[in-house]
Structures are given as C-alpha cells and as structure tokens.
Amino acid sequence: MRSIRGVGDMKDLVFDNRFVRDLPADPEPGGHVRQVHGACYSRVMPTPVRMPQLLAWSPEVAALLGLTEADVRAPDFAEVFGGNALLPGMEPYAACYGGHQFGNWAGQLGDGRAITLGEAINDRGERWELQLKGAGPTPYSRRADGRAVLRSSIREFLCSEAMHHLGVPTTRALCLVGTGEQVIRDMFYDGNPRPEPGAVVCRVSPSFIRFGNFEIFASRGEEELLGRLIDFTIARDFPEIEGDSADKRIRWFDEVCRRTAVLMAHWTRVGFVHGVMNTDNMSILGLTIDYGPYGWIDNFDPDWTPNTTDAGGRRYRFGQQPQVAHWNLWQLANAIYPAIGAVEPLEAALHRYVDMHEAESRRMMTAKLGLAQWQEGDSALLGDLYRLLHEGEMDMTIFYRRLADLDARLDDRPDDAALAPFADAFYRDDRRAAVQDELAGWLRRYGARLRQQEMPQAQRRAAMNRVNPLYVPRNYLAQQAIDAAEQGDPSRVAELLDVFRLPYDEQAGRERFAAKRPDWARHKAGCSMLSCSS
C-alpha cells in the first residue's frame, strides 16, 4: 500500500485516530479470517483495485472535511478512496463486534468489508471517521470476499445523503468509486451467481461504534474491556456527559435510548424501512447506519418489509421498527450490565425510551398534520387515517404533501371535490372505490379539526411542507440510476443526489421524481423487495 502526500487541501487533512490509539488492537497480523479476542479492532489494509474511478461525490461532505472540488477531481482522490493509497496519518483497521441477527445471537461479526481509514479532524474541531465499504477482506469477512457491488453502493451513497437532507440522523457518504473489477454475487440466493461491477463507498460519521461492539465483549466475559470501551465512547463521542464513572455510564445509556427513540420517530415520519435492524446495525449515536436492503413506503403498509430474507417473519416491517429498536436496546442493556452493576437504572432508561418515542412521534405527527398542538381525539383521527391509507393503497408521501393544500372549509363541497387533490395518490382504482366515501368523511373531520385552531392556511401549508417531503429516494428511482450506471453512465446518480438535496422544495422540471411508483416497478427486482446480497 503506497502513501501519497496529497494534492491541494488533501495534504492538510489532519488525523487524530483515538480509537486505535486508546483501545487494544488484535496482536495477530494479516487479514485471514479468525476469532479475535481481547481486542477492539484488527489492523488491516484495503485491498487495491484494478482501476479506481470516481463516479459520484457529495460536495457537502467534502466541505465538512475541508476538501475542494479540485481535491476531489484529482487522480489521487480515487486512488485513496478506492483503497489503493493512503494519506499521511491514516491508520486502517476493521472493528470487532458481534450482534443479534433476526433475534438470535450470531457471535462475532465485525467489519467484514468495511475498513476505517482514520478519524479526520476538520477546521471546526469536528471528528469524522472515514470508512471504506467494499475495500476487501478482513479478519471478520467469514466466507465473503470483502467487496461490494455497484448497485448496493449506489443505494448506500444516495440514501445516506438523502436522509441527511430530509433531517433524519444518519451516517454520511463522501464518494462512490468504481473499482474496474467484477464481483460475483447471487442476488436472489437462487443458485445463479453472476458477475457485477464492483464499487467502494466512503462512509463518514463521527463514530461507527454500534450496539454489537459492546455485546461481543459481554458475551465473552471480557468485562474489563467492556468497561474500557464504554468509557472511551463516552469520552470521545458524548463529551457533554459529566460526573463520576458510574453516573456517566447510566446517563450515557439513557442518552442512547433517547437518540434511538428520536431516530425511530423520524423513520416513521418519512416512510423509511431499514430492512435489517440487527443489533450490529444499530448506531450508538442514534444514526441510521448500514444501508442494505432498505426501502421507502410507497403505498402505505405497516406490514411491509423490503428485505427478502425477512419476507416470512417480517420482523423488521415498517410498523414494527420502534418495537424492534426497544428490543435491541434491551440487548444492549444486558450487555453493559456488568459495567453498570445495577438493574434499576437500565430498566428505567428502557421505560423512558417508550415515553420518549411516543412524545417524539406525537410531535412529528402534529407537524405532519399541520396542527398547532395535539389534543384529545387526535389519536383516533390519526389511527383512522392510517387505516384508510392502508385499505386504500395510497402513496404516503404524496398524500401528506397534498394534505397541506386542503381547504379546511369542506362542508359545502361534494365528495368528489374533496377527494380530487388526492387522485394521484391511489395505486389501484378498486381500492380507491372501496374507501372514497369514508376518506371524504375523514377529510371533513380533519377540516373541522383545522378550523378549531387559529392558523392561516398559507402558514399551515408552509409548515406542513417543511416536514412532509416531496422527493424521497424511492426504490425504483435508485434502480433506474443503477441500471444506467451499470451501462457506464453514472450521471443519473448525480442527478438524483441533486434532487434529494432539496427534498421539501418544489423543483421546476423535476416533477417526475415526485411521482408515485409506476406499475412496472411493483414487483421488479430492486424496485420492491431486495436481498442482502451486495
């Protein structure tokens, strides 16, 4: 692995790699697969690729790091973020962690294809970990090759940035680099593997520590290392938490519960379904992390999951995500109990998660419905809406956006006039016919509720449009960009990134990106459900 001095401002990137400096490393060298004990990470170099080529990049994330467009366009940039070269100060490693997958303890997992290059400190003193996903094998790769395909890399790149602009806590993405190599994947797990273009995404986050980092040490009885990792995480990633060691640890877990509750409410607000909410995919910072077979709710369905692996049990379905997060927090509480030594404060924080999630959900739904404040009867109003959206097979994003335009004075208008603004939110005419009378009645109830508050319609509309997005990264849009990129045209990735940069604003000439899922995409691979193959 060669080292380069960098060009432009790349040479000025400053690294302060506290994770590798303050925590114990795997003493065994090399990337061969093994069980790693008594260590938080293994030092491992990215595996160089044949022909790294920059396919897309985020100007906002580059700016966070102090990088200019000239830096990004320079040939050395793709060399570094494709895994072929290092900048001074980078100390690559793969983290050791475990996790519960689909409700069962899976043992050691770890960064099987993600390699952190280092922790960059920007000119505002902010810490950003730079991590390459698809950078080659590590000691945690098990039977895999450590690589990633272009289709999944595009999805991660786009959604990371789209979620940020939607206001949802998330890891970020600096760039997408094509490798010039083919990766063999069995996309449908049906015994028909095929070669696909490879790619590497540079993910960016203040921390990539997840619930599973603590679970692995608890499962092995490595209690000293467990406590050490907890204290490190608090000191580096939660510096606002003060007090003695025991008090800080309890307050830290309470804060993790709070952030997770907020995150789950945001996912519901925008219609995001993670697809693989295993404990190793849960960020300790309350960020959306590890974009695999995720999906976006088109027709509103609380029971929908985008993950083919989850199609039978639907454990990670849209409407179940807050409960799964609670279960995952229980597993984290079990893991850190040896370092806390008391059950009561952990249980209290877990109970507060429920209250915090309810409060955040109510706050966000109050805003989505354009209400000044929540009052008695609004829960029933919202529950009836959810049922009608489901039974009517209506597009969630389009419905809420149209709701902002509703005139609250509906009593003197026929049902057809009341329903007209929502005509393009239905996916099936028969489902529309089945609910239209009841939906018209609901709209009148809603209009009456709006008339109870002193808020001008223009003010309500503007407020609702700040929380109800017009553009979301629907699966079919991402798949269209993937299809073009696999044919050598990455321009649609950049176009979508630009659209998602302003998800709440009307963008002239881009109306097609706000349209509901077309019929041809209902069951098309990549446009409806996806596999974990990436």
Tokens encoding 382: 């919202």
The one-letter code for the residue type at 246 is A
Q: Which long-range contacts (CB under 8 A, 24 or more apart) does 376-381 make?
A: 377/449, 378/449, 381/442, 381/445, 381/446, 381/449
Q: Which residue's structure tokens are 């044949």?
A: 50
Residues pairing with 196 in the sheet: 183
First to last CA, the chain: 25
Contact residues for 115 (Cβ-Cβ < 8 A; gap 6+): 44, 45, 46, 83, 92, 93, 94, 131, 132, 135, 136, 138
Contact residues for 75 (Cβ-Cβ < 8 A; gap 6+): none
CA angle 455, 461, 467 (to 5 degrees): 110
Contact residues for 330 (Cβ-Cβ < 8 A; gap 6+): 350
Annotation says 111 is catalytic: no
DSSP string, 253-271: HHHHHHHHHHHHHHHHHHT
Contact residues for 471 (Cβ-Cβ < 8 A; gap 6+): 499, 500, 502, 503, 507, 510, 513, 514
Which helix H or strand E contains 130, and what residues bound it? strand 127-133
Tokens encoding 83: 């895994």
Q: Tally Cβ neighbours within 10 Å of residue 173.
A: 27
Contact residues for 182 (Cβ-Cβ < 8 A; gap 6+): 195, 196, 197, 198
The one-letter code for the residue type at 177 is V
Residue in 280, 298, 310, 395 annotated catalytic: 280
* HEC secondary structure over 273-299: ECCCCCHHHCECCCCECCCCCCEECCE
- Asked if residues 317 and 406 have their Cβ atoms less than 8 Å apart, the reply is no
Contact residues for 100 (Cβ-Cβ < 8 A; gap 6+): 106, 215, 278, 279, 280, 328, 331
CA atoms 89, 94, 97, 100: torsion sign: positive
Residue positions annotated with a catalytic role:
280
